[in-house]
Structure 1
Amino acid sequence: MHHPIDPKIDCVFKALLGAESNRALLIHFLNAILGPDLPAPITWVDILNPYNDKEFLDDKLSIVDVKARDASGCLHQIEIQLLVNRDLLARILYTWADLYCSQLHSGQDYSDLKPTYAIWLVDQVLADTSGYAHDFRLRDAQARPLLDHGGIWLLELNKFHTDQVQTEQERWLKFFKDGEALDSTALPSWMQTPEMTQAMNTLKTFSEKERAYHAYQARQNYLREQRSIQRHLDELRAEAEQQRAEAEQQRAEAEQQRAKAEQQRAKAEQERTKAEQQRANAEQERTAKEQALQEKDAALAEIERLKAQLLDQGRSESRDNE
């Protein structure tokens, strides 16, 4: 191989699994990834959007996923994603639902719907779990399927670290992860299969055909630019998030200070009310004391008056006796 070719670059990926000449590779890949989840092994597929090298070399290839229908009518979508963005999961679900819904045409019934399988190879960490393989289907809390009509399979290449290949699924994942570093003249033992040989021949085609390699480089440069743009957007988003967090913290601190000031005001109001109550109590006590003194003085005056009256009466009686 004259030039190293990364099988994860979308145009190479589609040539591997979407070319009519590589139909056997697609069948092998689907059986390897889906395995026991299929009602029966796939023996034939019709590629619905086949790879066309002339369209690719003319830079007109825009749809880089692979869609196929097997002999039982089941639909399959395979796509590779090198960049992970915040809307990717919604996009994955939407494209699966769109493909599933596309089966029905005018006059057809729901009974005509067939299982639909979406397989996504992701080159960055997507799910917050330790495993690299995930399948998502419609199930309830007891894992009972609502309808066994396929689902979505996510395979995270960055989490795949298998040194010894034991299954065909592991063989394909290792090929996509390490394919760029492989030498076609000295392939490791795990690559010594007819399917891997055919896959390496596809990479060799991109390496040796000048126009194909230049187009591959152009696509790779585009993806590098997209990664740079994505990193820049992530940095801007992180900066905006940090500024939002700082503003939220400042708002919280201001709210805390306002609450503290309100608490101090309430405490001052409470102390003022307490002082006012004490003043009122003191005034009431003073008034009561003054009233008591007035009543005492009045009582003493009444006593003096009665004493004077009795004294006058006694004197009058003494004069009368004389």
Structure 2
Amino acid sequence: MRDSTGRLLLDHGGIWLLELNKFHADAVHTEQERWLKFFTEGERLDPDALPTWMHTDEMRQAMSTLKAFSDKDRAYHAYQARQNYLREQRSIQRHLQELKTETEQQRIALEQAQAERERAQAEKERAQAETEQERAAKEAALAEIARLKAQLHDQGRMDSMPD
């Protein structure tokens, strides 16, 4: 690869554009095919049982780099899964706390309503007792009036009787 003045950009290496989905080869005959096969099948290879076309220093190093990237990727996903788990746990705990608070508020409201019903019942019973006392007092007063009238009547009869 050369620049506009004709000088080499790189002594070793180059820039390649590859269409991996168009590469289909069963056997590897060139270094370029080795790399193409690695790019297409590398993630499915078992690092402990590499095929013969991978038995070069460069391919072992490429496999090691791929494994390091895969390990980092797995570690990242494990980290993300852990963070998601912790977020879900906090969300569940917050929801449980809200439910507990709501339940406690409902319990307090029920206790207050029960106390109010009991107070109203006691007030009703007190009012009924007062009404009963007033009725009994009224009956006693009427009985006393009747007794006094009878006494007056008896006394009036006695006064009208000749001695």
Is the pair's TM-score, using the shorter chain for normalization, greater than 0.5?
A: yes
Provide the residue aligned with 1:245 in structure 2.
89
4+ aligned runs moved over 4 Å, structure 1: 79-82
Q: Tell me by how many angstroms 1:56 deviates.
A: 4.7
RMSD: 3.0
**SS of alignment partner, residue 36 of structure 2:** coil
Q: Quick check: 2:28–2:34 contact (8 Å CA) kept in 1?
A: yes
The answer for unaligned runs of 5 or more in structure 2 is 1-23
Cα deviation code 1:235-281 (max 9, x no counterpart): 02201211210121122112112211211121121111111111111
Q: Deviations over 1:213-253 (max 9, x none)?
A: 31332233123212201211210220121121012112211
What is the rounded CA distance, in whole Å, between the counterparts of 2:46 and 2:126 in structure 1?
84
CA distance change for structure 1 residues 239 and 81 in 2, over 3 Å: closer, same or farther?
Answer: farther
Larger strand share, 1 or 2: 1
Q: Distance in 2 between matches of 1:249 and 1:238?
A: 16
Alignment of 1:170-209 (within 5 A): 176=48, 202=52, 206=55
Report the Cα distance in structure 2 between the residues aligned to 1:238 and 1:291, rounded to whole angstroms. 78
Mapping for residues 142-153 of structure 1, pairs under 5 Å: none
- Rounded to whole Å, the distance in 2 between the matches of 1:50 and 1:242 is 47
Could you tell me which residue of structure 1 aligns to residue 73 of structure 2?
A: 229
Q: What per-residue deviation string (whole Å, max 9, x for no partner) do you get for residues 68-110 of structure 1?
A: xxxxxxxxxxx7667xxxxxxxxxxxxxxxxxxxxxxxxxxxx
Separation in 2 of the partners of 1:288 and 1:305?
A: 25
Task: Measure, in 2, the Cα distance between the counterparts of 1:254 and 1:240.
Answer: 21
User: Following the alignment from structure 1 to structure 2, what is the Cα–Cα distance between the partners of residues 237 and 231?
Assistant: 10
Contact in 1 for aligned 2:42/2:63 (Cα 8 Å): no
Sort the Cα spacing of 1:293 and 1:53 in 2 relative to 1 into closer, same or farther, 3 A: same
- Which structure shows the bigger proportion of residues in helix conformation? 2
Higher relative contact order, structure no. (Cα contacts within 8 Å, ≥ 6 residues apart):
1
Q: Name the counterpart of 2:9.
A: none
Aligned residues with identical type, % of pairs: 10
CA separation of 1:81 and 1:269: change in aligned 2, threshold 3 A: farther
Give 1:59's match in structure 2, choosing from 30, 36, 39: 36
TM-score with structure 1 setting the length: 0.38
Q: Computing the radius of gyration over CA atoms, which structure comes out larger, 1 or 2?
A: 2
Q: How many angstroms does 1:315 deviate by?
A: 2.0
CA offset at residue 287 of structure 1?
Answer: 1.0
**CA offset at residue 58 of structure 1?**
3.5
Unmatched 5+ stretches in structure 1: 1-48, 66-78, 83-175, 181-198, 207-211
Once residues 313 and 286 of structure 1 are traced to their aligned partners in structure 2, the CA distance between those partners, rounded to angstroms, is 40
Aligned to 2:155: 311
Q: How many pairs align?
A: 137
Partner residue, 1:163: none
